[in-house]
A = this chain, B = another copy of it.
């Protein structure tokens, strides 16, 4: 992934045509001539098609002779590059898209540093969406460079439409258009309409005189006449200074962009109150300026310091978004398909208030997300805006259902939550109360923890062996496994000694709390498998399974004289709430982390990945019995909760498209490579995990549930051997590395900071942004991350730890 293109002294622009044959090269020639008064000018044609003597760089060489020109790839056929590149007569090697980007970036960097080039034009072929050599639309192909754009509009009949549509296609991909040029045509007057149109966007438009009509090419001396006429045209147009306004605008926009990049960190430090940030001591240099983002990478502004001059490789750096932007990214940054989905919903609806109404995106998402869970209990979808609000709704649902069934008066006595230590369900005060007192909540003035939280056995690899450490003697000794699949093989494990111990311990604890301490519980609430914000705590799936089993099989624990529910799919004991905000929707390699446990929750909450990483949206799914607890003749018994933008069309549409894309990837086996890697590792466990062989549960098979990660098994094994590592695991898109901390972990631990700094320094090509939770450093990919990109990051990790 080359960095986006930006240099301090070099003003590089990409020239796009609103259509083919709108005069890109002629306008570029005019521009080169106008720009040369301000410093050296370069003209780069990445891909050229058609006869060599008509090539655009040749034209520039002839009519703007002071310009440095270069053509990277030349194909003879005068057709679109995707056809020209693949005709039998092609002798030029066809570059891959990344090679093409690298070559452009390299050329511009060289011009900037070695020839003091001040302006460069990078000319495209045809229209904005004309395909490049590999068939990728140019607007997509060149997006990683995100060069500012000079758009050559179409002055012909129909050109208004072509020009505006081309502009919209560019904006949809996050490009900035710095200037629009076109030929003046006094009959169609497109320039007049477009001038007014672009003035509203604060984009200057200049109409230049049309070039001379080409003589009939069959006539004697046509070529010479044409050349002479063109020469006069360039000379006259240049003399008239028609492009002065454009040159001035390009210069102004370049300067403004630089000034803004330079001041942004300082201004942000002065105006933004950052979430989860102790501002004491934070200065502008602690803030990264993100100029844009694409795929898995931020394009970060490289702050200039003494000894670290910006020019050369440019001012922007590719930084791997190693927290998947707080666990939101599914389909990558700057995804044009999601951008179009968002735009479509915005254009068709804007926002439509939900109560009493239905619109297609809200219904389609409800259907899609229910289907994705493969949980016959879940029948109803309640929409909110984020995981925290979705969990507030889940709590309200669970408590109401329990109080209604058990006849409790919640205004008279406290009803509590049964959960796990280290759990985290959001930042609004109601759901803060669902977690044990912790760093996150204990200083919040209104926080009052309302629950009991079990400590639990944790999974991790150390020294090449998967281990489960017990928090209490009552739960037995540490367990060891030859593979992660075995850890998840609940069919085998549920009746093991560990399983029996877990169930007994849970049963006795609840009995004591309810019968001796008189506590009333209203819901069981868990993040299945991994407790994210609590510190990437990987809970033994067997423990969570046993917790759910005990709650459901022993309703008498919670309210005496209660009989099990008559209906299938009704809740029993307590409503079970799964907080899948972090774990759900392929985060751990599966649609739902509940499937690892083979437990069907009564209430399930999804957010984050739901919209593929674009906008906030949350679904709280519930069973019919939960829903029916709110039915009544009294209007005020309803779930009186709702946010203004509930089920906003943009979020729902993006979520539908995002979920369907991920489910299609699953169907089409997009992750088979990763799955093979982890299956092989499992099968080969006999050799790899000889140390663990003695304690592996008898009869464990290697054909347990499919368990895999995008992070290589070999990496996990190698890191687990590192002296500084306490434990490591990978599952789905998550890699978690717990580092040894002399001073004992916790949110304020600094053990992981060294590794984080090494990742931030990165390699020649890229840096890695990461987040730490206490002594844990984690990395997270999207579901579309490229294997090569992940392997490169693994190398940086190895360098940092081994």
Q: Which residues 276-293 in A have Cβ within 8 Å of B in the complex?
A: 276-280, 286-293
- Of A54-62, A510-518, A630-638, the one touching chain B: A630-638
| A392 with B428: CB separation less than 8 A | yes
Given A271-B363, A430-B446, A622-B273, A343 and B352 touching (CB < 8 A)?
Answer: no
> Which B residues are CB-close (under 8 A) to A21?
157-158
A135 touches B193 (CB 8 A): yes
Question: What residues on B are CB-neighbors of A503 within 8 Å?
Answer: none
Q: A278-B630, A343-B346 are in contact. List 6 more A-B contacts (CB 8 A).
A: A272-B363, A275-B646, A278-B638, A325-B353, A429-B430, A443-B637
When the two chains form their complex, are residues A410 and B446 in contact, meaning their CB atoms are under 8 A apart? yes
Q: How far is the CA of A639 from the CA of B278 in the complex (A)?
A: 7
Segment at the B interface, from A171-179, A225-233, A541-549, A685-693: A171-179
Chain A 429-485 interface residues, beta-carbon cutoff 8 Å to B: 429-433, 439-447, 450
Min Cβ gap A649→B in Å is 9
Q: List 11 A-B contacts (CB under 8 A).
A: A127-B158, A130-B161, A264-B358, A265-B358, A272-B647, A273-B380, A325-B350, A326-B355, A328-B645, A392-B428, A615-B645
CA distance A601 to B260 in the complex (A): 30
Q: Identify the interface centre among A21, A267, A329, A392: most chain B CB within 10 Å of its CB.
A: A392
Q: Say yes or no: A157 contacts B80, CB within 8 Å.
A: yes
Specify which chain B residues have a CB less than 8 angstroms from the CB of A288 in the assembled complex.
356-358
A74 vs chain B, min Cβ distance (A): 18
Q: Does A332 contact B (CB under 8 A)?
A: yes
Q: Given contacts A162-B127, A386-B385, A410-B446, is CB(A273)–CB(B356) below 8 Å?
A: no
Q: Report yes or no: A427 in contact with B642, Cβ–Cβ below 8 A.
A: yes
- Bound CA–CA A710/B3 (angstroms): 51
Residues of B within 8 A of A627 (CB): 273, 279
Contact in complex: B380, A428 (CB < 8 Å): no
Residue A387 CB within 8 A of the other chain = yes
A68-83 interface (Cβ within 8 A of B): 79-80, 82-83
- Among B80, B349, B631, contact of A188 (Cβ-Cβ < 8 Å): B80
Task: Write out, one digit per residue, whether chain A residues 349-377 have a CB within 8 A of any chain B CB (1) or not (0).
Answer: 11111111111101100110010000000
A701 within 8 A of B: no
B370 adjacent to A271 (CB under 8 Å):
yes
Q: Which residue of B lies closest to A298 (CB)?
A: B352
CB-nearest residue of chain B to A265: B358
**Which of B20, B386, B444, B639 is in CB contact (< 8 Å) with A275?**
B639
Task: Report if A131 contacts B (CB, 8 A).
Answer: yes
Q: Which of A82, A336, A446, A647 has the most CB of B within 10 A?
A: A446
Assembly CA distance A411 to B128 (angstroms) = 61
Do B350 and A171 touch across chains, with their CB atoms under 8 A apart? no
* List of B residues within 8 angstroms of A138 by Cβ: 161
Q: Which residues from B are CB-within-8-Å of A195?
A: none
- Of the 9-residue stretches A205-213, A396-404, A668-676, which lies at the interface with chain B? A396-404
Tell whether A591 is near chain B: CB-to-CB under 8 Å.
no
Closest to A746 in B: B636
Query: Are A616 and B636 closer than 8 Å at their CB atoms?
Result: no
Contact with B along A724-753 (1 / 0, CB 8 A): 000000000000000000000001100000
Stretch at the interface among A90-98, A606-614, A789-797: A606-614
> A317 within 8 Å of B by Cβ?
no
Q: How far is the CB of A559 from chain B (nearest CB, A)?
A: 15
Whether A634 pairs with B346 at a CB distance below 8 angstroms is no
The 8 A-B pairs of least Cβ separation, nearest first, read: A275-B642, A174-B348, A127-B161, A429-B430, A20-B158, A174-B347, A410-B445, A339-B346
State the CA gap A443–B632 with chains docked (Å).
Answer: 13
Residue of B nearest to A429 (CB): B430
A332 to B346, CA, bound (A): 11
Please determine whether A631 and B279 come into contact, CB atoms closer than 8 angstroms: yes
Smallest beta-carbon distance A187→chain B, Å: 7
- B residues in contact with A634, CB < 8 Å: 278
Interface residues of A in 303-324 (CB under 8 A from B): 321, 323
Q: Is the CB of A363 within 8 A of B275?
A: no
CA distance A622 to B355 in the complex (A): 33
Given contacts A278-B637, A428-B388, A642-B276, contact A165 B169 (CB under 8 A): yes
**In this assembly, does A342 line the interface, its C-beta being within 8 Å of a C-beta of chain B?**
yes
Evaluate contact between A272 and B334: CB separation under 8 angstroms: no
A174 to B415: give the CA distance in the assembly, Å.
Answer: 47
Q: How far is the CA of A400 from the CA of B429 in the complex (A)?
A: 14
User: Is A640 close to B, CB under 8 A?
Assistant: yes
Q: Does A759 contact B (CB under 8 A)?
A: no
How far is B641's CA from A388's CA once the two chains are assembled, in angstroms? 11
A599 interface hit (Cβ, 8 Å): no
Alpha-carbon separation in the docked complex, A648 to B129 (Å) = 28
Interchain CB contact (< 8 A) of A350 among B193, B265, B333? B333
In whole Å, how far is A50's beta carbon from the nearest beta carbon of chain B? Answer: 11
Complex CA–CA separation, A443 to B347 (angstroms) = 39
Task: Check if A360 sits within 8 Å of B264, measured CB to CB.
Answer: yes
Q: Which residue of B lies closest to A432 (CB)?
A: B430
- Among candidates B161, B354, B644, residue contacting A608 with C-beta atoms closer than 8 Å: B644
Q: How far is the CA of A347 from the CA of B74 in the complex (A)?
A: 30
A630 to chain B, nearest CB (A): 7
Which residues in window 81-135 of A have CB below 8 A to B? 82-83, 126-131, 135
Known pairs A288-B357, A290-B358, A386-B385; A271 contacts B643 (CB<8 A): no
Residue of B nearest to A280 (CB): B631
Q: Which residues of B contact A360 (CB under 8 A)?
A: 260, 264, 291
Chain B residue at minimal CB-CB distance from A78 = B157
